[in-house]
A and B are shown apart, each in its own frame.
Chain A
Amino acid sequence: MNRFSLANKVIVITGAAGLLGINHVQAIADAGGVPVLIDIDGSQLQSTVEEFKKNSQH
């Protein structure tokens, strides 16, 4: 058992498009979690999500 696993955990991150927020999202995704990104800056949030999608494995 991996005690550090976040598999299937839905985790909300505020300020997700900021400098540290992006790293929090990455950490949660790497641990198998399901990050839900919240930010007040729509365009920054959109570009953050697009970058993550581009980098995700298919």
Chain B
Amino acid sequence: MGLLTMAELPGDIEISAVITVGVRHADVAALYRDYKAALEGLQRTYELIFVMDGRFPDVSVALEDLQRQNEPLTVVRLTRAFGESTALMAGFERARGRIIVTLPGYYQIESGEISKLVDALSAADLAVGRRWPRAGSRFEALRRASFHRALGWVTGLRFSDLGCGARAMKRRVIEEIFLYGDQHRFFAILAHRQGFRVAEVTVRQSPRDRFEGRYRLREYAHRMLDILTVLFLVRFTKKPLRFFGMIGLALAGTGLLLLLYLIIARLGFAQPLANRPALLLTSLLVVLGLQLFAIGLLGELIIFTHARDIKDYQVDRVIQFHSEAAQTTSTDAEQERIAAP
């Protein structure tokens, strides 16, 4: 199912709030009233869409109760936990507003701060929240800072709270962005790569935003993988051979040099090879290098054969002024071109 087109939009809703409910969720009835009050405060037409990422009987009951009380909300139930990215996409499919606000299914920011995010859209396509001042120990702050520093080093972008699920965006963002896997966390980075203007907005953290569980080893591994994922997205997807080829050539080159040295030592100076693993090491280096190189080439082959689908640029608009004569007989093709104001 695709996004609703303009023609299907009944009435004109200005703001769609998409709330994803995952394993970690607050009492949704209270959350709903909280968010609703904040949206009322914006003085614009709005809708609320709850996306349940998995089966949560307590949430189901609470939301059904609300619907029975004729509260204006849409509930999307996913049959299993697909992950937040897919839940967001499912919510976006139903969103009708010109502005889309994503909110987490638990208390993360003071709901009154939503207006700040929406206001920031006057100068940006996407506004992501940054919880500040932030509760938590100094160690947690350090951990967060180093994660974002590493991401900044990889992408060249400075974000300081990618874990914040509160965002506001213009409709064009959801029309173009495609999230899968764990990519919701890189929403801001992906949007920036798509050419959108992204702003980070300082919002007050909710006092109830406390992560009860311990930060286990698994979480650390996940964050490391996140960084790797972004590294591949940024460095690899466009120029695979530059990435793999350099590493591969370096490894194979080192291996070949060592191999040469071993052969000379064996033949010229009668140094025995048999009781040393040196030959095995060099062979491994050469073969590993070759394989990395081959993988880079495969990547290039994929890009080459799909170059028509991969666009290296995003066009903001096309400007052409038609003379009056041409305007009266404008064809369909010409109407696609957006004339400047």
User: Does A associate with B in a complex?
Assistant: no
Instruction: Mark B residues whose CB is within 8 Å of A.
Output: none
Binding site for B on A (CB under 8 A): none
